[in-house]
Structure 1
């Protein structure tokens, strides 16, 4: 990414931690109320969140077009799956992850396109399309606030299974931070 090195490393640590936790949850295979207790849907969501977190960490430290193509294919599969999926919850998860994968592909391609040596946006030039970047910033900023607000109940007490929600909020914040560097 094009921010200060410390910010890139902190973003990579946040994304690795969130992605690693989601990967651990895939291996545990326990039922969890945060995804309605539906084991296949929870496993799919955890697997996608692990892939997004580890991909975000990689992009923060080693930006390049190589990250864009796998996430573009993942976005296409998820968006088609969201249209064809059964159950509103599964469709919503796939749609959200499809938007996330599309944002990852967009960032990877926008930051390497149009500049010699693959460093678009380096000297004050914005990378990508400002309208698309702005819409993604609104989406992920809103998502981070919404998911973060679900970690704490109205009476100030922690809700059941707060860590998965906190990880999702952290991933939303990470995507927002990555988009800001464009």
Structure 2
């Protein structure tokens, strides 16, 4: 994507690390928790690939079409899970659709996603629909704040699950004793990917 190289590579590293942690979680989860971890691992790796700075690579147009197809399939899978009553997959559906949107936007104008800024060519290098980009930015900002607050430890002496981040996160089916089986692991990964998505949408909006 467009933007300074150093922040871009940091974004790639964050997404790769998050995807690797999610992949590791699949070994300590079962059932719905494992399926959610697989979905998030695919999302993390896909985001890392899409976040590679424009100055480092210039893939052909079909690569972005490939991203759209892959995450379109992921969106259909998440939609099916939502219809089946798995509410936590609604966020996966939004994330997959956001990836499809960004991939299609980066092919805008037929100039290629890695055309340099400036000039007539750079003016057509994507950017997406401002209304859609703005709505996704708001969604992910709210999601990150809400999920981040759940990770804040509850004050001593209080009861309930506030601050644990375990409610409705899709970590049910965790295998006891697994290295990545902590109740905070999945919410922390989702916060990290939410922040990465915010950064990528901001880069898209700046094109």
Q: TM-score, normalised by structure 1?
A: 0.83
Task: Call closer, same or farther: CA 1:112–1:121 in 2, change over 3 Å.
Answer: farther
Q: CA, structure 1 residues 27+7, in 2 after alignment: closer, same or farther (shift >3 Å)? A: same
Q: Distance in 2 between matches of 1:19 and 1:137?
A: 21
Aligned to 2:46: 55
Matched residues in 2 for 1:60 and 1:118: separation? 11
CA RMSD of aligned residues (A): 2.3
Instruction: Tell me how far apart the structure 1 counterparts of residues 146 and 8 of structure 2 sit (CA, whole Å).
Output: 24
Structure 2 residue corresponding to 1:172, chosen from 194, 202, 206: 194
Which structure has more relative contact order (CA 8 Å, sep 6+)? It is 2
More helix per residue: 1
Structure 2 matches for 1:22-171, cutoff 5 A?
22-29=22-29, 39-61=30-52, 64-65=63-64, 66-83=66-83, 85-86=84-85, 90=86, 92-119=87-114, 122-123=117-118, 125=123, 127-155=127-155, 159=164, 161-171=183-193
Give distance in 2, aligned partners of 1:43 and 1:26. Answer: 5
Equivalent residues, number = 168
Distance in 1 separating the partners of 2:113 and 2:13: 24
TM-score, normalised to structure 2, is: 0.73
What is the CA distance between 1:59 and its match in structure 2?
Answer: 0.6
8 Å contact from structure 1 (residues 82, 94) kept in 2? yes
Mapped to 2, the partners of 1:11 and 1:118 lie a distance apart of 17
